[in-house]
Amino acid sequence: MTARHIYVDETKERGYVLVASFHIGKDAELIKALRKFILPGQTRLHMTKESDGRRRQILDAIIAAEGTATVYDAGHRYGANQLAARAAGLQAIVEDAGQQQTLIVLEQDDSLIQWDRQFLYQAVRAVNQADSIRYEHHRAKSRLLLTVPDAIAWCWARGGEWRQRIEGVAEYRKI
């Protein structure tokens, strides 16, 4: 059985939002498409540093891959308490993972690694999925598919036409 991969990134721009993109296997075609956008001297794609034209092209590649993502919005409920909001988002991701073999890949934030590990250890065991759910932290430059939740989170925070572009890809959940 091929493991599902869930790539996770966040935005704190307009409340606390975690975005999880869901992938089966390695998504070789999407990786190949995204790799084409990396310019000489760039180590990764990051929506905040791209021009609008390149943002549209990156989003078109993501949309064409027909992946899915979920926007977990905890900002309204938890306000400025970012750890509580993160906990709610990670809990929802673990619960949504179900019983399928899953690897959760979180964009590495050195200040949160220990907290994430402790929280996820408990969350995975609370749903009796210690044998099926694994989790790892990686820098975006080492996992190109972390571009997907970054792009969706950026669009979500921007709102307007950017949020409209991802409507067919991203499901919204207020948690």
The architecture that CATH gives domain 4-174 is 2-Layer Sandwich (3.30)
Tally the C-alpha atoms within 13 A of residue 20's C-alpha that lie toward its C-beta.
24
The pLDDT tens digits for 48-106 are 999 999 999 999 999 999 889 999 999 889 988 999 999 999 999 999 998 889 999 99
- As a whole number of angstroms, the distance between CA 171 and CA 9 comes to 15
Q: Are 59 and 151 in contact (CB under 8 A)?
A: yes
Name the residue with tokens 């969706």.
Answer: 152
Q: Where are the domains of the chain?
A: 4-174
- As a whole number of angstroms, the distance between CA 76 and CA 87 comes to 14
Q: Which residues contact 29 (CB under 8 A, 6 or more apart)?
A: 65
- Between the alpha carbon of residue 33 and those of residues 29, 46, 62, 65, the distances in Å are 6, 15, 9, 9
pLDDT at residue 67, rounded to an integer: 85
pTM: predicted TM-score of the whole model, two decimal places: 0.94
- As a whole number of angstroms, the distance between CA 152 and CA 59 comes to 8
The pLDDT tens digits for 7-60 are 999 999 888 999 999 987 668 889 999 999 999 999 999 999 999 999 999 999
pLDDT at residue 6, rounded to an integer: 96
